[in-house]
Amino acid sequence: GNMDQALSLWFLLGWIGGDSCNLIGSFLADQLPLQTYTAVYYVLADLVMLSLYFHYKFKKRPSLLSTPINSALLFILGMACAAPLLRTTGPVAARREVFRGRTLLSVEPGSKPFTQQEIIGFVIGSVSSMLYLLSRLPQIRTNFLRKSTRGVSYSLFALVMLGNTLYGLSVLLKNPEVGESEGSYVLHHLPWLVGSLGVLLLD
């Protein structure tokens, strides 16, 4: 029951901040459906983890902040659940959801331009990747000061590393759209690739 001592609050806040920006950015930048659905799950899991943290933190010390915190968590939860329902669908979107295996050494020329909405999503996705990278530092500091990792679930980080690896590979292995070059495809997904594969070393 020392979860509140083993985990850094800034680590959890940075994590949920990164996942929230990941969800919003994936929605705005029209990322792969798998990325959006995974982002929704991440936010829900973060809310559960953050709720447990505050539960153990304040269960013996009732605080006036508990009600605002719970209200904020419920609001974020509602937004996370509603976001996929707002996703526009249509013939173009339907065609984008078809997964095609990546053709190595593809020579299809073309560079897909960014729309204004995708630029906003790209920026939010970049903020998400920065939050992912920075969120690990408080936890590393907490472990160093405690001289122990007791209370930290090894399975959590093992599964996070495995999930981030498979997540990044699933994006890289998808074939670009017809007429889109591989360089343009990678550029459109770059913040999410950095956020998933870039944190492996820190984890």
The number of distinct structural domains making up the chain is: 1
Q: Is 101 part of a structural domain of the chain? A: no
Q: Is 168:40 a contact under the CB 8 Å cutoff?
A: no
For residue 69, count CB atoms less than 10 angstroms from its CB and return exposed for 0-12, middle for 13-18, buried for 19 or more.
middle
Q: Is 96 part of a structural domain of the chain? A: no
Q: Is 102 part of a structural domain of the chain? A: no
Find the farthest-apart pair of alpha carbons in the chain and give their distance in angstroms, rounded.
Answer: 63
Q: What is the pTM of this model?
A: 0.66
Q: Is 8 part of a structural domain of the chain? A: yes
Query: Per-residue pLDDT for 23 more than 60?
Result: yes
d(CA 87, CA 83): 7
Q: Is 181:103 a contact under the CB 8 Å cutoff?
A: no
DSSP 111: -
| 71 — pLDDT class (breaks 50, 70, 90) | low
Q: Is 107 part of a structural domain of the chain? A: no
Mean pLDDT of the residues in the chain: 75
Residue 21: per-residue pLDDT = 92
Q: Is 97 part of a structural domain of the chain? A: no
Q: Is 108 part of a structural domain of the chain? A: no
Summarised one tens digit per residue, pLDDT across range 25-52 is 888 888 888 888 888 988 898 888 888 8
| 107 — pLDDT class (breaks 50, 70, 90) | very low
Q: Is 50:16 a contact under the CB 8 Å cutoff?
A: yes
Q: Is 202 part of a structural domain of the chain? A: no
d(CA 157, CA 159): 5
- Domain that residue 189 falls in: 3-90+115-197
Long-range contacts of 137-146 (CB under 8 A, 24+ apart): 137/202, 138/8, 138/9, 138/10, 138/11, 138/14, 139/7, 139/8, 139/11, 140/202, 141/8, 142/6, 142/7, 142/8, 142/11, 146/5, 146/6
Summarised one tens digit per residue, pLDDT across range 116-137 is 888 888 899 899 989 988 988 9
Q: How many CB atoms lie within 10 A of CB 148?
A: 12
Residue 188: per-residue pLDDT = 82
Query: Per-residue pLDDT for 19 more than 80?
Result: yes
Residue 127: per-residue pLDDT = 92
